[in-house]
Amino acid sequence: METQPRTAVVAGASGLVGGILLDALLEETLYREVLSLGRRPLPKQHPKLIQRTVDFARLGDEALPPADDAFCCLGTTIKKAGSQEAFRAVDHDAVLAFAQASKRAGARRFLVVTALGADPGSRVFYNRVKGEVEEHLKGQGFESLVILQPSLLLGERAESRPGEHAAIVASRVLAPLLRPFASRPIEARTVARAMLALAREAPQGVKVAPSGELQRLGQ
């Protein structure tokens, strides 16, 4: 495992997993500097933290400072985005733009949160977009590409998602019955811890970590 201090760049730190991950990166001694990219500044200060406001649709025009590891936690819902096209703009286009900008900045490792069931051939639009972005990321040439595929995320979001909240409440009740299955719900903090653990390992090539593996790594 590489022991030299690293620099990290994070996209999506205002989200459920991204916010927890950012806090963990700032406390992790492996990283000497953490750059957070977002549409608006976060109400957070830390000696290692640098923030940059960006338009992900125009990230190709941005030159990022040198980075070793890139962490992508970008994601939305079709309801919040307003349309399938707007959803794709975030969960596919923005993710790919961030990957390309990170590669230009010298990032060797790219870690991304997609979803369990991601499949470019899926009839389900959400799963198909997630699968398509996974395939396109594989062609970016990172030394290490780590794809995290969590199932339903548990945690407190800043914004209200009534339908998702109902599903989470039901899943908490049913969790004991789902424990034998990799599709059981997973805490956002577990995913964030697993993401950091996978970055420390720095596996070569492409690694796909499904939700069951994330449960183990993030304990």
Q: Which of 44, 130, 138, 207 does the annotation list as catalytic? A: 130
Return the closest-CA partner of residue 133 out of 123, 145, 144.
Answer: 145
Query: Length of the chain, please?
Result: 219
Return the closest-CA partner of residue 16 out of 204, 189, 217.
Answer: 189
Residue 199 φ then ψ, to 5°: -65, -35
Residue 130 is a catalytic residue: yes
Indicate the residue type of 44. K
**Cα three-residue angle 213-218-219, rounded to 5 degrees:** 110
Residue 44 is a catalytic residue: no
DSSP H helical ranges for the chain: 16-27, 78-81, 84-88, 95-104, 125-137, 162-178, 188-201, 211-217
Tell me whether residue 42 is exposed, middle or buried, using C-beta atoms within 10 angstroms of its C-beta: 0 to 12, 13 to 18, 19 or more. Answer: middle
Q: Which of 44, 48, 103, 126 does the annotation list as catalytic? A: 126
Q: Looking at the DSSP assignment, which residues form a beta bridge with residue 8?
A: 34, 69
d(CA 165, CA 144): 34
Cβ atoms of 72 and 12 closer than 8 Å: yes
Which residues are part of the catalytic machinery?
Answer: 126, 130
